Structure 1
Amino acid sequence: MNKYQATIEELILPAGIHLNGTEAFDIQVYDDRFYNHVLRYGSLGLGESYMNGWWDCLALDHFLFQLLNIDIEKQISKSLKVRWQTLKAYLFNMQTIAKSVSVAHEHYDLGNDLFEAMLDKHMMYSCGYWEKAKTLDEAQEDKLELICRKLKLTQGMEVLDIGCGWGGFAQYASEKYQVKVTGVTISSQQAEMARHRCYGLSVDILLQDYRLLTGYYDRIVSIGMFEHVGYKNYRTYMQLVKNCLKDDGIFLLHCIGGNENNINTDAWINKYIFPGGMIPSVEQLGKSIDQLLILQDWHNFGLYYDRTLMEWLNRFRASWGNLKYSYSERFYRMWEYYLSLSAASFRARKNHLWQIILTKPSFSQLYQSVR
């Protein structure tokens, strides 16, 4: 065993993991370049070496969960490349309109075939609600119903959906609650499918950045979009919500939240999955709404995201026989690693899923929470 192998073994041993061990969560190393790459680049190197096929693991999600539990990343010095990523996030707005459109093209425009194979019938790319659900379809429909009840929708209301995705919420709310929905996305493929799904309904789908929105709405909802806003734009986002919300309106924010005040995301996620993405903390959200909006309810069901992601992973793997003609084997390993890492982060309680209810100071009712 060389010094690099010995160092890696020493780092992972507190997590109960062994190199080339016999447990399902032990990793099998096939290329010695793995060791130096991980020690040099940390989480970026670990993910890249998996994509390269330099190592494998039968229980990838459990292996990553074990590492997150011991904060392995903090024990490996970050490369200059990773430090530059943090400095850029501090100095510059990494989520300008132009950059946001570029991210949407890189991730959400990968191909609707991929997301149709992985997601539920409503095409919800966010955490399901598993309190009573037995299937992914049920969990996502229960989530949609929970959101509608928290928004206290009634017939004829005008609803703004910031980051409408493939139109799942717009379709559900319009059909069941007879509300008019304006959805906004910066993904052309999402907009195309959303318009098709909502054809004939009282739904308008706009292909534009949220910062260009105008109008006045009874309700505003944002499901799984705030992670792309960036800390330099949090206040701008909340100011826009306040400007567009009627005096007795209700805003529901459904987003991933973190434990720390970070200004960027994991280096591997940033490079390969969500460039410029950022998970807000309680403190950062608090500052963004200070003297703008009133907190009415805060609901955390982050453990449900673990199950949701594993359902997506299983469906992705099961559909690979058809998808492999459009995507490479390296993409398969990248996507498998992304879903496994994300599930592990919620399982380890590093990330959470928050549904937050906010109103304007002029809100005149007593808001009663819904679970």
Structure 2
Amino acid sequence: MRHSTVLADKEVRAGTLVSGRLGKAADFLESQLAKAGLTVNGSNPWDPQIHNAQTYWRVLRDGTLGAGESYMDHWWDCEQLDEMITRAMTAKLDESLTGRWIFIKHWLMARLTNMQSEKRAYQVGEQHYDVGNDLYEAMLDPTMAYSCGYWKNADSLHQAQEAKLDLICQKLELQPNETVLDIGCGWGSFAELAARKYGVHVTGLTISREQQQLAEQRCKDLPVTIELKDYRKMEGTFDKLVSIGMFEHVGPKNYDTYMRTAYDLMKDDGIFVLHTIGSDKSFYVTNPWIHKYIFPNGSIPSLAQINKAAEPYFVVEDVHNFGPDYDRTLMAWQRNFDQAWPDLQDRYDSRFYRMWNYYLKISAGAFRSRSLQLYQVVLRKRLTPLDPYHSKR
């Protein structure tokens, strides 16, 4: 009788009786969320609404992976998910709710395995970039730029992306007939604009067949070549180098190889513009949910990691951080995705919708909290590398 009374006195969360270990998990998770001003089943649009009480234990056990998967499974919702994540990350809840064993697994994988080896290089292309050009054409602007726009003087996503591409061209100091290597060229947004507006010859590298096909179509009448090739396999020399939103796929074990390769591919008086998402801290592992569902084998570099890798080969001429612009870019993509969903849902299921919506909104929240940055780094080639063991390939 006493046992029944104790259970009856327990709070009913999300329509499910919570007690024992699950009750303790709920108490802990709710106390952590409260630190960020978040109330489970609260009235604010950024408060999470829990439909399945097992969510508490799943998040406590698996951390960010459990949070994302339970959202995909319709176990919880949030009207303003991006704002919820902003508040959670500002309060550093992502650090206290890591999911210990999941974190250890990914930490060991990152330390013991080269997650971005040549053999693994094409995995992200097959899983993420080859998901379907129809999705990206609906979500992105006409440039098909899949990286942060530059909103300083822009009123629309298209204006912001054109401004970003033109800003990079200016930083590269492009001159007619120069040769430019675009490492990670995407669907050819930079190649098309640079060739058309500045009269340069662009070679673009991608590890996605879908990207290669569309980029070649977009640039068919321009001096542009698109190759399906890993950067480590590239040969030749170029006047200028650019990499937009690709360094996030390189990984700490390959940072030196990447910079050394860029050094070898560049003429002596060249300029290299590196455009990349950056972390406010140096990590060796990525968000486990992002790794599993969005960008396999990815790793967000810190500015310290970028500088350490570049130092033997390049002089850092300029660092430009416009991370808040990525929040605005991501929310524009999310609105486009939402509006296009009626036309996409015949080819993608509801679980994909929740996965993609979650990806865009948690990413926006991460930039809004300033946990993530967007760096454009201008590098000039050292005439002699500082690494005494460096040799031409």
Q: Same fold (TM over 0.5)?
A: yes
What runs of 5+ residues in structure 2 fail to find an aligned partner? 1-10, 12-22, 385-393
Q: Hey, what's the Cα distance between the residues in 2 that align with 1:147 and 1:76?
A: 38
Matched residue count? 363
Which whole-Å deviations, capped at 9, do the CAs of 1:159-179 have from their partners, x for residues lacking one?
Answer: 000000001110111011111
SS in 1 for 2:377: strand
> In the alignment, which residue of structure 2 is the partner of 1:293?
314
- The higher radius of gyration belongs to 2
Q: Hey, what's the Cα distance between the residues in 2 that align with 1:73 and 1:144?
A: 33
Aligned positions of 1:271-282 closer than 5 A: 271-282=292-303
2:78 corresponds to 1:33:
no
Q: Hey, what's the Cα distance between the residues in 1 that align with 2:89 and 2:227?
A: 39
> In the alignment, which residue of structure 1 is the partner of 2:166?
145
> In the alignment, which residue of structure 1 is the partner of 2:207?
186
Q: Hey, what's the Cα distance between the residues in 2 that align with 1:186 and 1:207?
A: 5
> In the alignment, which residue of structure 2 is the partner of 1:258?
279
2:44 corresponds to 1:18:
no
Aligned positions of 1:121-200 closer than 5 A: 121-200=142-221
Task: Please report the TM-score for the alignment, with normalisation by the length of structure 2.
Answer: 0.91
Q: Hey, what's the Cα distance between the residues in 1 that align with 2:102 and 2:319?
A: 37
Q: Hey, what's the Cα distance between the residues in 2 that align with 1:243 and 1:4?
A: 54
The answer to whether the 8 A contact 2:64-2:98 is kept is: no
Identify the match of residue 83 of structure 1 among 104, 128, 131: 104
SS in 2 for 1:99: coil
Which whole-Å deviations, capped at 9, do the CAs of 1:105-163 have from their partners, x for residues lacking one?
Answer: 00000000000000010100000000010000000000111011110111110000000
The answer to whether the 8 A contact 2:102-2:288 is kept is: no
Residue type of the partner of 1:241? A
Compute the displacement of 1:229 (Å): 0.3
Task: Please report the TM-score for the alignment, with normalisation by the length of structure 1.
Answer: 0.96
Identity of aligned residues (%): 48
Compute the displacement of 1:290 (Å): 2.1
Q: Hey, what's the Cα distance between the residues in 2 that align with 1:291 and 1:230?
A: 18
Identify the match of residue 321 of structure 1 among 336, 342, 345: 342
What runs of 5+ residues in structure 1 fail to find an aligned partner? 364-371
After TM superposition, the runs of 4+ consecutive aligned structure 1 residues lying more than 3 A away are: none
Q: Hey, what's the Cα distance between the residues in 1 that align with 2:211 and 2:97?
A: 39
SS in 1 for 2:379: strand
> In the alignment, which residue of structure 2 is the partner of 1:367?
none
Compute the displacement of 1:77 (Å): 5.4
> In the alignment, which residue of structure 2 is the partner of 1:284?
305
Residue type of the partner of 1:275? P
Which whole-Å deviations, capped at 9, do the CAs of 1:272-319 have from their partners, x for residues lacking one?
Answer: 111110011122112211221111110000000000000000100110
Q: Hey, what's the Cα distance between the residues in 1 that align with 2:98 and 2:184?
A: 36
SS in 1 for 2:121: helix
> In the alignment, which residue of structure 1 is the partner of 2:90?
69
- Flag the 1:77–1:327 CA change in 2: closer, same or farther, 3 A: closer
The answer to whether the 8 A contact 2:140-2:146 is kept is: yes
SS in 2 for 1:252: strand
